[in-house]
Structure formats: C-alpha cells, structure tokens
Structure 1
C-alpha cells in the first residue's frame, strides 16, 4: 500500500485517475482476484484488473499487460505494483503458491531455485570452461553499484577473494552467487504518451517488449545455457527497431550470477560462451561498455523479483534521479530482463528517454 500511495504522490494523481491495476500473487498466501482486493483497499475502482504469477518475469509482464490494456481501450492509466515479503517471517495464514511439478521432482531432492540454477552453472562450465571465479566478477561489479546506492541492502565492498571464500550453497554456486531474500516493493504507472505529458515527472517511452517460455520443468529444457531470453530479446529489439549496441545499460535479472552471464549472451551482448570474459575488466560497471544492474540488483540491493530493475531503468533514463556516481551518462535506451521459474519463463523490456 505504501508503494501505491507513493506513486500517487510522484505522479501527481489521485486514485480516481487510475483505471487499471495489476499486481503479483502473494508467494505464501495465494488469493483469487488479488488485484481486485488490493485495488479496493487503495480506493481504486478499475475498469481493468489482473494479477500475474510468472516469477521473476512478472514485473515486466505487468508492464506489457498494461500496454495491451491501454492499446485495447480497456484502460487509460494503469498502476503496476509488485511486492515481496521474504526477508522476515510472513504471518499470512495461507499456503505457498504451487510450482506444479512437486510430485515429479521434489521427491528426488530437486526442490530449490539454487539447485535449478546450479544445473545451468555446471553445464555452462562444462560447455565453455567457465569457472567460479568468472562468476565472481558479476557479483563484485553488482556489489560495487550497491555501494553507491543509498537504498541498497549490501553496501560492504566485495572482492574476488571474498567471493571465492564464501561457502558453497549448491555447488558450483557460492553464497555470493545467490540473491538476497528481501521485504519490499516497487510500482510504476503506465499510460499513453499523450496523457504522460500532463504528469509532473518526465515520462519514459516503452519501445519494445517480448516474452518466451521454452519449457516448464527443468527436466524438459532443450538447453541449460540458452534460455528464453534469446527469443524474448529478439522480439523486443525488433519491436523497438534497435539492437544490443544501442543499449546504454542493462538491468539483468540476477537471481544468481550465472543468470546474469547467460542472459548477457542470450541478449546478444557477446557470443554464447563468451560471457565469462565479457563481465571482466570493468566492462559491466558504471563507466564501462555496458553498465549492468546499476542499482545493485537482486544480488546486492534487494530481491523484489525484478521490480526494482524496472524502476531503476526508468530513473536512469530520466536522469538526475540516482546518486551521481552511478548515473549512466547520456543514457538514451536500456533493456530490462525478467526470468522466472525453473529457468523457464522470460520477459524483456526496452525503455527509452524522451
């Protein structure tokens, strides 16, 4: 609710000005018509409302659904809110949302996100010679950005040696390869270009978007080193009329360091298998060739299932809304990724400055 009231204040609007509402299903207390419930609590009476459950692809899918609702004439101004409570105990009385494959995989010990992504990391290492120390460069760069972010959880600098000294969680992934568990939320408002001109804040354009979901169970995945991001990003680039070289930054879903590396490859920033070299020598830091996760990402800012990746991209493109030391200079376009489930769901979003 605090995110909703905050968006009203920033956008200079009232609840009655919002006629569309999209949110995420709670992880530990699934509801029917949850978006309608939340809209009612916020004193909204939307013409369009829905809640989504695509894991880490949900925040981007919210924006995409908002665009479609506006284009279809079902709404004019849509609020997208995503919140998560995982850092502290959740008092909700309900049951966790189901994965759908519990009976087939969990009895054999395959029941966690880190196990899923450890499979991908092992395969990337087997196919391309990637090492744990290569993954460390992703974690170190992300932490460097978090240290510049006053709203980040982890603000203690990290070295390659620190990463390598952290314990294994599920080999080959170490503690510092894994995202945080966090409480928090974020929100954005999507509206038409015409209406956006009346808002007090500088708007940001939605240039391109895509989704691709190549499998459901990890056991059915056609590949563990090329994921849905390849097709999803191709759709977004085509819609935007842009290519990877046009991106001034990338906010990449980083539940694990291997996810960042694979997505950078899938998004065309380097060839498949070259991610281990692409992430080195400051290339993905602010001031480098492609700043990645300029806010600290899930690894070091907070794990809100990627919603803060979207809000960070908006702030970067508006300019002068983040700490000066982590502002990407002359940012005109950026890409945001969302990744969910057993490496099975993916959504892409390209935003541009106006």
Structure 2
C-alpha cells in the first residue's frame, strides 16, 4: 500500500453549510462566508473554538486566508490557500487530510464566499482585473471573451472531431434543470427544453446563454475531521476515499488536445486511491460551468469512451431516472455558481451520501465522485467519497 492509499477513509466530512445562495443583497462576501462556515461547524456538532485548520481562497484577494482567519476568530495550526480557480475546494481535500492524519490539526474548515452577482465590484469587473493579474500571452492579444471563448473552442472541436451535436450539449443543461426542479434551493427551477437551449441568445458559438453557468452569489463550507472522531459527532460520517489534482496547462491554447483534460489523470488516480472503479459510482458531481464540461469529464474520468459523451447524456442519460445521476443539485447551470463552484460539489455529494437530499435523493447512494475544474480547462481535481458503510 502506498502512502497515499493509506489515507483512504482516514478523514471524513463531519459538517456542511451554505448561505446567500442566489442573491445576497446587503451582505459582503465575507459575511456570507462566515454564515456558511458557522452553519457547517454547527452541523458537525463543533464550535469555532474547535477549528484549528483553515483552507480557503478567493479570486478577489491574494491573501484571502488571513482576513478569513481574523474574521472568524481562528488561529489555525494548518492553513491552505492554494488558488486553482473553481477546483480549489476539491483540491484542498488532500492537503487537509494529510494535515489531520499527521496530527498537525484536528478540525479543518474549508470555506468560500462570493457576492459577484450583487456586489458593486461584480463579475465583469473581476474578469477585467484578473486578466491584468493573470495575463495569458498567447490569447490576450486577441481579446477573447474569457472564459467562455475557451470553452466554446473546446465544444466546437469536440463537435468537429466526434460528431457531437448541439442537441447533445443541450441535454446537459436540460438534465441539470430537471435536477434543479427537485431542489428548492436552486436558482432556476422553471422548465427547460432542448429547443429552449438551442434558441437562447448565442454568446460564443456554439454556446448559448443556457449552455453557460449562472452568475449568482453564494457561500459554502465543510468541516473535515479524523474518521475516529467523526463517528462520535452528530451527522453520519462521509469518508474521503480518494483525492488527487492534475494541472496540464493554463491557457487553452496550450492544451495538446482540446478534447482531453487533466481529468484523464486526476480521475484514475483518485479512483485508484479509493480502490473503486467508475462502475461503483452511484452519483457524480461534475463542475458544469459550461455544457461541454460535463461531456469532457464523463469521458476523461472513464464513464464512457472519448467521443461518446454526447451519446451518454442523450435521452436523459444523466437526468433523474437516467443511467448515471449527475449534478443532482442542478449544478452550476441551474443551482448556483458564485464565480467558483467547487465547494458546492462537495456539499451536494455529502448530502447524497447522508441520504439528506430530499426529493432529489439518489436511492442507496454509497459512493460519490466529485470533480472540480478551474481556469479554462486548466486545473482538474477529483475526489471520491464514501457513505457511513464504506470505510
């Protein structure tokens, strides 16, 4: 057994919480982050005095972890502030697990908050600011509409190379909406058809507005503890079975193949650490910033062969009642997407494995795969979780 494999099931998510979903009028991102953090800590049956590890980051501040620690009144013995875009809060799992297992700390709070929808300094201003701080020299001179231009490029290539259709991409958005209709917390719950997606306003060919994630406010948090402690806390423990991160590129123009992401590396490594295969996965929470993401990740993670993602999702393949439940809260396309979505993937997986997802609950769910994406198909982080009976 490798050192990495020895971490399987050694830590568990003991609490989750969120706040300010949709529109958090009158609140700052720090305030809704604190609300989510307090709810996650309370859900774990702990208090802020018990938290001695912190993992957080933000696209709006380079030293975000320090004001968060100060605002929450924490003096962490372990701190993780790696910023990999939307995959960050999935990527934070492994360092946190290592810190817990080594005894460096006893309870790690992972948290994020953003008010990009209602803040005066919103999403468009943030995109402009990040383009100055994070220049992409091979693309910036052409003034692309980032990040959507990159994802549209990947979608166009997938369609050209494998015959993927616009209708198949639309299936992803429709499936997400059907899950959202079962989730009272989702931002969009009105009916959505294939025709609605195809006829929506074109943003970057071939993607319309309904192929693109929401722009919302929102904060999320979860608490990790060692497995032996988790069993004594109020909620059913959800064990971390596998966790890996892979980064192959920053700019999409530096990808060797626009249809293959680093999920092809992170996925098999995480599944190997967990000792399971994709056939064991009961529910998949995949970072769906755009409809093409879901197809790429289903392929790269091994749920289907390369080029077959369109056929996999067709005719409700990932919708309620389909072959694989995917993005059961409605995803970034219909539930919530406050700039970086990764933390909500973990929260939904935990709820499913606790059997606390209400009308959208996947019966008998025991294994959940979570996959986060950051940048423009740049950073990929995969985690495998198991319910109380899997350790």
* TM-score normalized by the length of structure 1: 0.95
Alignment pair present for 1:318 and 2:348: no
CA contact (8 A) 1:261 1:276 kept: yes
CA contact (8 A) 2:41 2:223 kept: no
- Could you tell me how far apart the structure 2 residues matched to 1:167 and 1:97 are? 26
Aligned Cα root-mean-square deviation (Å): 1.7
Residue matched to 1:73? 103
- Which of 146-155 and 69-78 deviates more? 69-78
**Match runs of 1:185-196 below 5 Å:** 185-196=219-230
Residue matched to 1:172? 206
Residue matched to 1:40? 70
Q: SS where residue 139 of structure 2 aligns?
A: helix
Q: SS where residue 96 of structure 1 aligns?
A: helix
**Match runs of 1:260-299 below 5 Å:** 260-299=294-333
Gapped regions of structure 2 (runs ≥ 5): 1-33
CA contact (8 A) 1:138 1:257 kept: yes
- Could you tell me how far apart the structure 2 residues matched to 1:183 and 1:163 are? 23
Q: SS where residue 92 of structure 2 aligns?
A: helix
Alignment pair present for 1:18 and 2:51: yes
CA contact (8 A) 2:168 2:310 kept: yes
**Match runs of 1:50-69 below 5 Å:** 50-69=80-99
Equivalent residue for 1:309, pick from 323, 332, 345: 345
- Which of 165-174 and 282-291 deviates more? 282-291
Alignment pair present for 1:146 and 2:176: no
- Could you tell me how far apart the structure 2 residues matched to 1:333 and 1:226 are? 25
CA contact (8 A) 2:112 2:219 kept: yes
- Could you tell me how far apart the structure 1 residues matched to 2:139 and 2:194 are? 34
- Could you tell me how far apart the structure 2 residues matched to 1:50 and 1:97 are? 21
Q: SS where residue 56 of structure 1 aligns?
A: coil
Gapped regions of structure 1 (runs ≥ 5): none
- Which of 299-308 and 85-94 deviates more? 85-94
What displacement does 1:142 show?
Answer: 0.3
Alignment pair present for 1:205 and 2:235: no
- Could you tell me how far apart the structure 2 residues matched to 1:192 and 1:97 are? 37
Residue matched to 2:26? none
* TM-score normalized by the length of structure 2: 0.86
What displacement does 1:102 show?
Answer: 4.1
Residue matched to 2:276? 242
Q: SS where residue 199 of structure 1 aligns?
A: coil
Residue matched to 1:127? 161
CA contact (8 A) 2:65 2:81 kept: yes
CA contact (8 A) 1:24 1:83 kept: no
CA contact (8 A) 1:16 1:45 kept: no
Count how many residue pairs are aligned between Structure 1 and Structure 2.
349
Equivalent residue for 1:253, pick from 269, 287, 290: 287
- Could you tell me how far apart the structure 2 residues matched to 1:180 and 1:97 are? 19
CA contact (8 A) 1:21 1:48 kept: yes
- Could you tell me how far apart the structure 1 residues matched to 2:121 and 2:153 are? 33
CA contact (8 A) 1:286 1:327 kept: no
Change (3 A) 1:97 1:64: farther
Q: SS where residue 80 of structure 1 aligns?
A: strand
- Could you tell me how far apart the structure 2 residues matched to 1:345 and 1:106 are? 19
Residue matched to 1:226? 260
Residue matched to 1:163? 197
Q: SS where residue 156 of structure 1 aligns?
A: coil
Change (3 A) 1:174 1:91: closer
